Amino acid sequence: MKIVLLGYMASGKSSIGKRLSKKLSMRFLDLDDYIVEKEKMSISKIFQIKGEVYFRLIEHKYLKEIIENDENFILALGGGTPCYANNMDEINKNDTLSIYLQGSTATMIERLIRKKSKRPLIASLGDDKIPEFVAKHLFERRPFYEQAKKTIKIDDKTKKEVAKELANLLN
């Protein structure tokens, strides 16, 4: 089984994916970590030195590389991954199960303000600018996220509860 978790920044893709991988005894991969390992450079450094177009090209290449692998896995995507290079078509091919971890705009704003320093994309924004930034992004990305085969709502749930819900869904 190939499980791909997608959703906005701070929706819990990586932490829930790790929990789920333990519950299901499956390999966990984080696409951003995979890119960093392959390119021997941080994501922010790739953006800074080579630009977003280059990043989106290699992101697509590595996504395809992982999905075409025969092994079972749980893969956490970057928040923007589904929105570029027909990545959702690639993700939804064959036996891959894509799952959208859907948080309301309010939930995502609250989580991002709390963990702002760990998010390079928003670290320099004032707290008052984050609601508009998040609302705009979610509006633009929703059509891509909603192409996932399943959706799990994450509002008012702990990561542990979401991982358990996912495990039940898969059994």
The pLDDT tens digits along the chain (171 residues) read: 999 999 999 999 999 999 999 999 999 999 999 999 999 999 989 989 999 999 999 999 999 999 998 899 999 999 999 999 999 999 998 889 999 999 999 999 999 999 888 887 898 899 999 999 999 999 999 999 999 999 999 999 999 999 999 999 988
pLDDT of residue 141: 97
Spatial separation of the C-alpha atoms in residues 48 and 137, rounded to whole Å? 21
Is residue 2 within 8 A of residue 67, CB to CB? The reply is: yes
DSSP letter at 2 equals E
- Burial bucket for residue 143 (CB in 10 Å: 0-12, 13-18, 19+): exposed
Beta carbons of 79 and 7 less than 8 angstroms apart: yes
**Tokens 């891509």, residue located:** 144
